[in-house]
Amino acid sequence: QCLLSGSWRSDTGCRMVVSVLGKDGSFSGSYLPGPAVGDSEILSSPLEGSQQDAGLVPQPTFSFTVHWRPRAQTTAFLGQCYVGTNGEETLHALWLLREAADSPAEDWKATR
């Protein structure tokens, strides 16, 4: 069974700490980008999300958002937690980063 509670590290050195999951699958925690991001000004930032009921499926889907401090950016992550044959849990996720745009004309370049 795959649960998100605990500490996670990405291939690029990003760190995520997830609090205990609520009964409804909700969770919160913090996210710190790794050295690959190359921006030492970004601090540990809060995250909030939810996980599919792990009692229903052994490898649940999840989503969470990170509100970056001190920047005006938000990242949405969507993925699934997998359990390997050795019992090791891994997360696979896609993400979108959204910056605040100065105007509707600048909207096209605000999402990566």
Write out pLDDT tens, residues 94-108.
999 999 999 999 999
Is it true that the peptide bond before 70 is cis, omega within 30 degrees of 0?
yes
Structure tokens at 35: 């050295």
Rounded Cα–Cα distance for residues 19 and 90 (Å): 17
- Give the pair of three-digit tokens for residue 11: 């291939």
Lowest mean pLDDT among 40-44, 71-75, 85-89: 40-44
Distance CA 15, CA 36 (A): 12
Would you kindly state where each structural domain of the chain is located, as residue ranges? 6-34+43-106
pLDDT score, position 38: 58
Class of domain 6-34+43-106: mainly beta
- Give the model confidence (pLDDT) of 25-69 as tens digits: 999 999 988 775 555 666 789 999 999 987 888 899 999 999 988
Tell me, what's the pLDDT at 1?
Answer: 76
Please give the structure tokens belonging to residue 84.
């390997």
Name the percent of the chain lying above pLDDT 70: 94
pLDDT of residue 43: 75
Nearest to 2 by CA among 90, 65, 68, 72: 90
**Which tokens sit at 89?**
């849990």
Task: Give dist(CA 42, CA 34) in Å, integer.
Answer: 10
The single residue listed with the structure tokens 């990405």 is: 10
